[in-house]
Amino acid sequence: MRSGWLYLDAGERSQYRARQLLLEDIRRGLNQDEFRLYFQPKVNLRTGEVLGVEALIRWQHPQEGLLPPSYFLPAIEHHTLNIQVGEWVLRNSLLQIQRWEQEGVRVNVSVNIAANHLQSDNFAGHLTKILSAFPGVDPVRLDLEILETAALGDLDKAVQTIADCRELGVTFSLDDFGTGYSSLSYLKRLPVDTLKIDREFVSGIEDDSENLSILQGVIGLSRVFGKQVVAEGVETEEQLSFLKNQRCNFAQGYLISRPIPVSDLEKALASGVLVAGITADSGL
């Protein structure tokens, strides 16, 4: 850095240029309506009832085909485009809820909210405006999933923002619980409805006593604080059995269903079976 100028080597310039091109392409993709929502069900492990679905974004790129979020979300993590993408997901999730409501179907949809989105100015006000565009949708159908780190940046502001949004009727989940810097006082203050156990602690619980202890601890904490708990990343029958034995009633993961388009989700729900031994009673 000399006289206020930042000097980049050839490799850094190339990376910078590639990111700028990707940002431009993402902006174009938003304008051209190239993004899609896939849905991953969360189920009650004892009854098979669908608790809700998590909305997950994909990019139907005209040249590259269907792209996963890992291709484009890291590039916008600290960029204002992240908020635009987040609002796109919110609007399209509410649109899907509205379509289901019109068909007499009651499905809750969870949407991931990025840290800079939650911490943006007047988040609750913007959410109010978005919800107002869908007067036929009961806000309780919308669940906002936030990472621990999204709230830890400014806990007081996060608590107030979440409280303001809950006044609108929406619910909140704390995603990837256990991977951040949670304390009991932090968990007590944060007005969320659901804790989601990170897949890191679900993986290997069959033969990892530490992961099993953590899982048992989170389930116990959820009961103390009166919150639901959802185990993420369930991929084997053994994990499913362990979760049931530990009285973890809700889960999502590839064993239950991969993220799928809405048409496939409706077929899966209508069939009544999402995973062997679990019968879904969704009303579809």
Q: How confident is the model over 107-144, as pLDDT tens digits?
A: 999 999 998 899 999 999 999 999 999 999 999 999 99
Is the per-residue pLDDT at 154 higher than 50?
yes
Question: How far is the CA of 127 from the CAs of 36, 64, 106, in angstroms?
Answer: 21, 32, 21
83: how many CB neighbours lie within 10 A of its CB?
Answer: 18
Is the per-residue pLDDT at 79 higher than 60?
yes
Q: How confident is the model over 252-282, as pLDDT tens digits?
A: 999 999 999 999 998 887 776 666 556 554 4
Please state the three-class secondary structure of the chain as a single string: CECCECCCCHHHHHHHHHHHHHHHHHHHHHHCCCEEEEEEEEEECCCCCEEEEEEEEEEEECCCEEECHHHHCHHHCCCCHHHHHHHHHHHHHHHHHHHHHHCCCCCCEEEECCHHHHCCCCHHHHHHHHHHCCCCCCHHHEEEEEEHHHHHCCHHHHHHHHHHHHHCCCEEEEEEECCCCCCHHHHHHCCCCEEEECHHHHCCCCCCHHHHHHHHHHHHHHHHCCCEEEECCCCCHHHHHHHHHCCCCEECCCCCCCCECHHHHHHHHHHCEEECCEECCCCC
Is the per-residue pLDDT at 172 higher than 90?
yes
Is the per-residue pLDDT at 218 higher than 70?
yes
In sequence order, what are the residues at sequence separation of 6 or more whose Cβ sits closer than 8 angstroms to the Cβ of residue 32? none
